[in-house]
Amino acid sequence: MPLILSAPVLAADKPAAPAPTKKSRHHSPRSVAGHSTTIDVSARRHDFAYPEAQHQPDATTRLTAERLRERDVTTLRGLERVAPNLTIQSINGTASTNFYLRGVGFNDFTQSNMAPVLTYIDDVAYPYSTMSNGQMFDLAGASVTPGPVGTEHGQSDTGGEVHIRTNNPTDTWHFGATQDIASYARSRSEAYISGPLAKGLSFRLAGQTLHGGGWQTNPQNGDHLGDADLWALRGKLQWKPDSHTTILLGGHFTQDNSEVVTSVPVHRLIGTQALPKFASWQQANWSSRPEFAKLFGRKAGIKPSEHNQFWGADLHIIHDFGPVTFTAISAFETEREGEYTDQDGTALSEADTYRTVNANSFTQEVRLNNSNPNDRLQWVVGAYYQRSRMNQRFFFDYTNYSARRYMMATNFGLNQEAVSELGHVSYRLPHNITLWTGLLHELDDRSITGLRSEIFGGATNTFHGESTASNQFAGQVGISWQMTPHSLVYYKMSKGFKPGGFTANNTQIQAQLDPFQPETVLTYEAGFKADPIPNRLRVNGAAFYNDFHNQQILGTVLIPNYGPLSEITNAPKSESWGFEGTIEAHPFSHLFLTQNIGWQRGNFQNFPTVNRAKTNAYYAQHHEWKAINDNFAGVDNGQPKLTLNGSADWRQPIAKAYALDFGPDWQYRGSQAITPGGTGFYRLPPYFLLGAHVTFRPASGRWEATLYARNILNRRYAESGGQATTTYFYIPGEPRFIGGRVSYGF
């Protein structure tokens, strides 16, 4: 990308204006949602980004398009390399993801329930994070907001939100293209074109393709796995009939036929077969029987892979009436997913799985807010509606598992509808003090229908539907003080709410369909923002305490004569606490440093459940299933206690016509449990990764060339993990990748 990048974005995420020297002012970061602004990357190359946000009382991490590009953030998972206290993990190596922000999150294999951390793209909430797959291109920026949200926009949740902003159409012609080639024949191509079509009418068309990159090999036959095969398009049409009105119509389409990283077993729970031994951590075993592939209509020899389509459209209407601004956002998103995983990680068919997902979601949001950001009184009121429909079918191949020796399928439907009303108001008092409060009320209805488990050649079980409804309030109250022009402190209390839902995969008895209850959290947060040496040193930090009631946790249920299965349940009482901070330093000419730090602890205060480790140990000794019940009161919540990421960048002008940027970056994640109370192989080991980049560009900013490396030390590490019938497995992380990227634009 060029050094000077015009990047119009929705001002829903536009930082508030900086506070004046004598009077602070605070207003909602979404109070002027929908208007356009322009990011000039060149203006930030010798200063800290988003200076206006230093006057907003929040713990949001705001990321420029340049920072995302430098750190090679091309998927949602990459955001954990540039934000504190954030862990994003793929599910069994697939495109589906689970979020943990400040340790708040849960593992939902089916992705059929509302997540504690929501994904937004251009102000549109995605109820299922998989729907956002393939959309991380032509970016204008991103933000990560921890803690309960929802009183100013969108939906309420308990963990926070990740908001991606993509570039809008421009009033002048622009074109850009990027080609990225890296190890293992990985290739990523991007391009965009943007400009006017008529007076007041402009468009933008952008796309990307991704191929190769497979780094796993099968020592049994020399086959390799993991090649990407994805393409995506996004189009936007913007019409400004007058100076007060903006109408923005957008649409996108993604086709993903990528192979996925497969699991590596680390412990056998059932059976006597030896686990595979590999000469390299980049090796793995996988297989698929032709009979199983025929069952779900795919070719014999299918590898662990995706066969997905995602598409959607959204309409933004913004009109400034003078004293108030009206915003309406309508969106429709669809997901068509076909996904094969070899979960046991062996050449046997003990837990091979294929699932299909057909889902769609319609959302409608309307907001009114005052138009003048300089007013002492700032307010926003609005309403939000969401309707989603989903049908899933799971196919399982247990042919080589001696206790079953069959293939089976489970299918079900999910219906959901929610409506909420929200309001937020803030008032600036004398002496640079601002008070604010917000309130949200939400009704949510969910039901599961038509669930049937069929053993091919055996019995078929049909289960009656279940439903659950929630009627809850969420809210926020806080105070901030702009102590000096360059230092802000704040304190707030927030209540977050997330509706209940269902666990539906591999259902064997009706009781598994009992809905889990809504989750609520009361969060206390105190923070500060300071530029003690303007343009030289910036230090931001926040401390928090979360008081959970009925926290939704992936627990365990034991099915007699079948074995332990994962089930989302509620921990009646739990808590977590910690802090996060960001230090940005420009100690002397040419050197720029960034360090994010996140630390959190938490435990269950009351959590009666089946102890999976003890239950598995009993089976190993007695060869029969017996539930060993336990209460995990006082047990750690298992989330990584310490997460770090940062970078050092040396920016060197060359003969006034060119510039050279280079430096390392790093990431650390502490140990993480993959089952409540887990120790030993039930925990993912900690890891540290080192990367680097060097970029050469002319002063004109028309083009740039970059060499980069990730995981330079070629460290072996586990990105996520889980259980699949007979084994516990880890999903290995990427090995060393070395690549080059060339961009051109005007």
pLDDT of 447 over the 60 cut: yes
* Residue 557 confidence (pLDDT): 80
CA distances from 553 to 107, 147, 249 (A): 8, 18, 38
State how far the Cα of 601 lies from the Cα of 103, in Å rounded to an integer: 8
Beta bridge partners, 296, equal: none
Amino acid type, 285: N
State how far the Cα of 209 lies from the Cα of 225, in Å rounded to an integer: 19
pLDDT per position as a tens digit, 310-334? 999 999 999 999 999 999 999 999 9
User: What's 280-316 look like in SS3?
Assistant: CCCECCCCCCHHHHHHCCCCCCCCCEECEEEEEEEEE
State how far the Cα of 352 lies from the Cα of 344, in Å rounded to an integer: 7
State how far the Cα of 139 lies from the Cα of 605, in Å rounded to an integer: 42
Q: What tokens does 204 get?
A: 């933008």
* Residue 8 confidence (pLDDT): 34
CB contact at 8 A, 334 and 363:
no
Mean pLDDT over the full length of the chain: 89
Which of 251-260, 380-389, 667-676 has the lowest average pLDDT?
667-676
Please tell me which of 189-193, 605-609, 614-618 the model is most confident about, judged by mean pLDDT: 189-193
CATH code, residues 9-745: 2.40.170.20
pLDDT of 27 over the 60 cut: no
CA distances from 311 to 357, 381, 521 (A): 14, 30, 33
* Residue 484 confidence (pLDDT): 96
Which of 82-86, 162-166, 346-350, 595-599 has the lowest average pLDDT?
346-350
* Residue 616 confidence (pLDDT): 81
Give the mean model confidence (pLDDT) for residues 357-379: 95
* Residue 615 confidence (pLDDT): 84
* Residue 573 confidence (pLDDT): 96
CB contact at 8 A, 598 and 578:
yes
pLDDT of 203 over the 90 cut: yes
State how far the Cα of 733 lies from the Cα of 670, in Å rounded to an integer: 15
H/E run at residue 554? strand 537-559
Q: Phi-psi bin for 535: left (phi > 0), alpha (psi -120 to 50), beta?
A: left
pLDDT per position as a tens digit, 472-514? 999 999 999 999 999 999 999 999 999 999 987 777 778 788 8
Which of 53-57, 275-279, 319-323, 530-534 has the lowest average pLDDT?
275-279
Q: What tokens does 723 get?
A: 């259980």
Which of the two residues, 573 and 110, has the higher pLDDT score? Answer: 573
State how far the Cα of 333 lies from the Cα of 356, in Å rounded to an integer: 17
CB contact at 8 A, 354 and 332:
no
Degrees to nearest 5, angle at CA 95 with 598 and 347:
110
* Residue 324 confidence (pLDDT): 96
DSSP state of 613: H
- Chain position carrying tokens 């009320």: 441
- Chain position carrying tokens 């049909």: 462
State how far the Cα of 238 lies from the Cα of 201, in Å rounded to an integer: 6
Residue 11 phi, psi dihedral angles, 5° rounding: -75, 10
List, in order, residues 6 or more apart from 27 with CB less than 8 Å away: 16, 373, 375, 378, 426
pLDDT of 443 over the 50 cut: yes
pLDDT of 42 over the 60 cut: no
- Chain position carrying tokens 């921890």: 146
pLDDT per position as a tens digit, 89-118? 988 888 888 899 998 988 887 788 888 999
pLDDT of 41 over the 80 cut: no
pLDDT of 17 over the 80 cut: no
pLDDT of 45 over the 60 cut: no
pLDDT of 20 over the 60 cut: no
Amino acid type, 645: N
DSSP state of 262: P
Which of 227-231, 515-519, 708-712 has the lowest average pLDDT?
515-519
- Chain position carrying tokens 């190993």: 620
* Residue 7 confidence (pLDDT): 34
Number of Cβ within 10 Å of residue 75's Cβ equals 17
DSSP state of 149: B
Query: 614 by DSSP, 3-state: which?
Result: helix
Q: Where are the domains of the chain?
A: 9-745
CB contact at 8 A, 139 and 65:
yes
* Residue 649 confidence (pLDDT): 95
State how far the Cα of 489 lies from the Cα of 481, in Å rounded to an integer: 5
Give the mean model confidence (pLDDT) for residues 156-168: 95
Number of Cβ within 10 Å of residue 251's Cβ equals 15
The pLDDT confidence band at residue 143, using thresholds 50, 70 and 90, is very high
Alpha helices in 610-710 (DSSP H): 612-622
State how far the Cα of 730 lies from the Cα of 308, in Å rounded to an integer: 24
* Residue 655 confidence (pLDDT): 87
* Residue 30 confidence (pLDDT): 38
State how far the Cα of 327 lies from the Cα of 382, in Å rounded to an integer: 9
Model confidence, pTM:
0.90
DSSP state of 153: S
List, in order, residues 6 or more apart from 676 with CB less than 8 Å away: 553, 555, 604, 607, 609, 612, 632, 635, 637, 638
pLDDT of 34 over the 90 cut: no
Cα 374 from chain centroid (whole Å): 34
State how far the Cα of 639 lies from the Cα of 332, in Å rounded to an integer: 34
Which of 110-124, 202-216, 495-509, 685-699 has the lowest average pLDDT?
495-509
CB contact at 8 A, 345 and 285:
yes
List, in order, residues 6 or more apart from 416 with CB less than 8 Å away: 127, 386, 387, 388, 389, 390, 444, 445, 446, 447
* Residue 684 confidence (pLDDT): 94
pLDDT of 273 over the 80 cut: yes
- What per-residue string of b and e applies to 82-111 under the rule 16 or more CB within 10 Å gives b? bbbbbbbbbbbbbbbbbbbbbbbbbbbbbb
Which of 411-415, 493-497, 627-631, 707-711 has the lowest average pLDDT?
627-631
HSE, side-chain direction, 13 A CA sphere, residue 421: 1
The pLDDT confidence band at residue 46, using thresholds 50, 70 and 90, is very low
Give the mean model confidence (pLDDT) for residues 558-566: 77
* Residue 43 confidence (pLDDT): 34
State how far the Cα of 469 lies from the Cα of 595, in Å rounded to an integer: 43
pLDDT of 184 over the 70 cut: yes
* Residue 21 confidence (pLDDT): 35
State how far the Cα of 500 lies from the Cα of 549, in Å rounded to an integer: 12
* Residue 96 confidence (pLDDT): 85
The pLDDT confidence band at residue 677, using thresholds 50, 70 and 90, is confident
Give the mean model confidence (pLDDT) for residues 555-582: 87
pLDDT of 24 over the 70 cut: no
pLDDT of 32 over the 70 cut: no
